[in-house]
Structure 1
């Protein structure tokens, strides 16, 4: 087995314990020389060499031999990068299950908007049998903010379904079947051609509050938003105002700030909002453990790590 050369040491898991138990079984099968532990059972802190976490422990200094930190998810904005030792590599999760799940969710949301699923649901409640005009996918312009791995997986599905797809990113990209825009100067033209806007940006100082009234006003009137980035991207009152005055027709939100929203938050009851509890994609233990063990092997061999976070860029 290719992971047999990994040296012994403790691998500490600090996230959902139910999925952690699945990780433990897979580690025992594939790399039994590693002592896999689930927080708060850390064993001997001096033996902890690797950590996988959604949120790291407050005192990383308690683990003097810690060599690597893995984010349990694709994003790393939940980490305070300034508080992490600069010499300690942080690796985001790049396992294929996350990308597949995100592609499913985005495709579901786009299709539901395009085929007017919310309108039919409302009509059903009123016992109304009324057919709406069906437009081909090619007549619907979908734009994705952010062109990372998850966005590329979602766009590939949408292109196959025939949607008119575009993407925007900070730096130039080229994707088959996608009109790619890059840089701040290209953002207005990109937004102007989005009937459905999907946010899949990383959350950084530059992208916080990017989903605001100015951005919504740059979209065609009656556009829709699918937000699967992070809660901090969205100015919530600006979204409510844009929905209430008709600039936006509807929104699908999988992320909020805070999560969940307070019980009296207007998102819960708004007729134009579909709210889901941050489930667009989830790390799948089988593929995640394979990716993590492969990265441990790269680390052991002194090779480049897949998904290594660039601290200066924030992702």
Structure 2
């Protein structure tokens, strides 16, 4: 049991998701902005219909991913003491497909009650007032914008569906990889890492604690998976994710990035580093385009070295978060086991 708790405390099925709330498709044609730019943000009154469909919203709590993983992996959910008015507005926009700005509304907050009264300012294209709850009983199904994941890519030796669907340690590797694709298509999931880490924690114990099979929360089949959140106070609900399973034939990072000495850079920003990687390897990366590489690559530093790796869950490139390798490798054949050196490349520059 102590070994299991150690594994769960150091890994999380959500550790693989990206940070930014952006679409995963970064093709050459930009997606049209179909957000609502005017209307009644108050309750519906007669024919004056409200543009607000969800009063319970997720607001950035400004905890790091590591802090949320540590909390959720021990069954805890972090508080909302750091939430700002701007965070509430962003949460309203995400949950209601609106384009409200801080210039459009006044926000009166009660952080202790996770409550915000939002009132449209005079002269704004919005009007009315409403009471919102942030990070409290948010609808999981409304929060997730893409439940049809399309193609997903899995190692050939991974049992998918799991061979023992009631035992958590059989389910976690498959669910971990599935959540990589969920996270890529729903980048806002990064805001609730502790919620999904708590799910991971409970599933890890399933089959060990009597009366708590993994199927209580997760069932995985060939083409769909039902995921139900454990009780946590922040978010609740259940979603069925659909997908088309494929053997993983995505190119590895070493296949595409041959030049790792980037020379002299004007800044050390992640964007400039990735642009330099693209420029130095344009022969192999040109067919994807700079914008797609900017979205797919991420930069991190460790022990005075800088690395690049592809984000987990994208369809074009093979990427996985090393934080999840311990869980995933338990169900893989030796030739398929994930190794850090296969997914990360050290880079140099001055």
- Flag whether TM exceeds 0.5 (same fold): no
* TM-score where L is the length of structure 2: 0.22
